[in-house]
A and B are shown apart, each in its own frame.
Chain A
């Protein structure tokens, strides 16, 4: 080609080459690998990203990264895209950084570029960090491969190079990070899946473990399926390692969008307010008698919370783990609140799982300036040898410790029981110490039953009729335990008609927004602990 001819063509050839290479990248691991992936009922990472984000809002970065093979003339004959797709897009109109492994290319294992394209550190995390926007990780990889040693010629200390999780930790203190476990995830990506503020997996499709069945079988001689080792029943329902479970990929994407709808873009912004189509002064009559008169009887706490919060605004976090406590994001007059409610259907007693769940949720809400509302019906910590062996005290005290570090306002609605060390954990001792009680409320350092015998042991034993004396003392103390006496002493700030709970709370939640605005910014180094 003559110089004049080349000049007249401009950059057409190169521009066409860019478009050709983009098409090659869009083919993922090729038609066969994609068909195999689809046959397993899974979407490709590109399809996933398109569905999580607002329609046509994805702007990919690094689409040309990969491994090219060239012929003797320097023409590209083969191209394997990097097994990670990433970029920015929008969710409900707001920008987010998003990325995920491409399982159709060598099962999403790293491809060893100078700068990490994958999810463990690298560009997509830096993007979320520098722009202060949420990050979504669609995790579908199995981590390192022993092949790396062959390529490098030496082995490396863990945390070497670009995948040491430093940036992942930085993100935990400034922007919301969501992890979705989309397939079988082990090794580095399994850790990455946990370095987030909220995580989700798909039932029957996602599994998560430190090491998969072949490694476990080799170590313990125990054959086990991947679903038995790290399916939703273990990873989410039993261990609480992953927060929520979706029934399908579509459900998973919907839940990601829903979770982020409660989150600010970063810690320097308030959570987004939504229009409220529910009457602010809605007073549900059913609240007046939802709590049974017998304190032994359970009732539906979820229904109670639904009657107080804005209609259809509740999103439960960790619904299947630590079920003695319900933790949910919700709205009151359109403003985001974090609700923590003891669940009498599970005894309401705080076990080590419920304590861990509560502490994590409190930390999450505090970091993103979401005020907390407790609905308390808590008889105490779960006692007994098994509970002690599970470190009930450590988890319980940790929940209380976290509660004492919050900067967001906390309300306590004492619905029924509020006893002991666990009861102390639902109260805003650092702040306004604002507690409102229902007429069904009762409180103390421990419940009367049992407590009387312990405190008045000698007096009861020395009485002519010990059983009679015990009943008398119990009756005397029960009269003193009336919530009206505590309200008279202003030792509880208000005693309210349960039907007024919604308008009462909304008055204060509306009023505290100025306070939230005045304290924006990072809370503490490290942010929310995984």
Chain B
């Protein structure tokens, strides 16, 4: 089991948190939606597993490259 850090690829504000710690996720699932430049930009996991940690909440600012969630997969 590896801990996989999921990063936001864009600077913006957290609009929605779609997955909570403990939930199972599949590859390609949207974990968080970032609002940036009036667009909803999904943060997608490239790995299946279980959400261990969500490091942001709604309305939090996020920077490009910031870890927003950790998946155990």
User: Which residues of A pack against B, CB within 8 Å?
Assistant: 294, 296-298, 323, 344-349, 379, 382, 449
What bracket does the count of chain B residues touching chain A fall in?
under 10
- Please tell me if the beta carbons of B10 and A346 are within 8 angstroms of each other in the complex: yes
Closest B residue, CB atoms, query A292: B40
Determine which of A347, A382, A449 lies in contact with B39 in the assembled complex, contact meaning CB atoms within 8 Å. Answer: A347
Closest B residue, CB atoms, query A296: B40
- Please tell me if the beta carbons of A382 and B9 are within 8 angstroms of each other in the complex: no
Contacts of B38 in A (CB 8 A): 296, 347, 379, 449
- Please tell me if the beta carbons of A345 and B41 are within 8 angstroms of each other in the complex: yes
Assembled-state Cα–Cα distance A323/B36 (Å): 14
- Asked if B1 lies at the interface with its beta carbon under 8 angstroms from chain A, I say no
- Please tell me if the beta carbons of B9 and A345 are within 8 angstroms of each other in the complex: yes
- Please tell me if the beta carbons of A347 and B40 are within 8 angstroms of each other in the complex: no
Closest B residue, CB atoms, query A383: B37
Contacts of B49 in A (CB 8 A): none
Assembled-state Cα–Cα distance A296/B10 (Å): 15
- Which 8 pairs across A and B sit closest by C-beta, in order of nearness? A347-B37, A347-B39, A298-B41, A296-B40, A297-B40, A349-B37, A347-B36, A298-B39
Assembled-state Cα–Cα distance A199/B73 (Å): 35
From 27 to 68 in chain B, residues with beta carbon under 8 angstroms from any chain A beta carbon are 36-42
B15 to chain A, nearest CB (A): 10
Assembled-state Cα–Cα distance A382/B9 (Å): 17
Assembled-state Cα–Cα distance A348/B10 (Å): 11
Interface of B: prevailing SS: strand
Assembled-state Cα–Cα distance A294/B36 (Å): 15
Assembled-state Cα–Cα distance A449/B37 (Å): 13
Assembled-state Cα–Cα distance A346/B37 (Å): 9
- Please tell me if the beta carbons of A298 and B9 are within 8 angstroms of each other in the complex: no
B45 to chain A, nearest CB (A): 14
Contacts of B39 in A (CB 8 A): 296-298, 344, 347-348
Assembled-state Cα–Cα distance A345/B10 (Å): 8
Of B9, B36, B39, most buried by chain A (CB within 10 Å of CB) is: B39
Assembled-state Cα–Cα distance A347/B10 (Å): 9
Closest B residue, CB atoms, query A351: B37
A180 to chain B, nearest CB (A): 26
- Please tell me if the beta carbons of B9 and A346 are within 8 angstroms of each other in the complex: yes
- Please tell me if the beta carbons of A323 and B37 are within 8 angstroms of each other in the complex: no
Determine which of A297, A323, A344, A449 lies in contact with B9 in the assembled complex, contact meaning CB atoms within 8 Å. Answer: A323
Closest B residue, CB atoms, query A298: B41
Assembled-state Cα–Cα distance A347/B9 (Å): 11
Can you give 22 A-B contacts (C-beta < 8 A)?
A: A294-B40, A297-B39, A297-B40, A298-B39, A298-B40, A298-B41, A323-B9, A344-B39, A345-B9, A345-B10, A345-B41, A346-B9, A346-B10, A347-B10, A347-B36, A347-B38, A347-B39, A349-B37, A379-B37, A379-B38, A382-B37, A449-B38
Contacts of A349 in B (CB 8 A): 37
Contacts of B42 in A (CB 8 A): 298, 345
B39 to chain A, nearest CB (A): 5
B46 to chain A, nearest CB (A): 12
Assembled-state Cα–Cα distance A51/B10 (Å): 38
Assembled-state Cα–Cα distance A310/B10 (Å): 30
Assembled-state Cα–Cα distance A297/B9 (Å): 16
Assembled-state Cα–Cα distance A345/B33 (Å): 11
Determine which of A294, A347, A379, A382 lies in contact with B41 in the assembled complex, contact meaning CB atoms within 8 Å. Answer: A347
Contacts of A297 in B (CB 8 A): 39-40
Contacts of A382 in B (CB 8 A): 37
Of A294, A296, A449, most buried by chain B (CB within 10 Å of CB) is: A296
Contacts of A347 in B (CB 8 A): 10, 36-39, 41
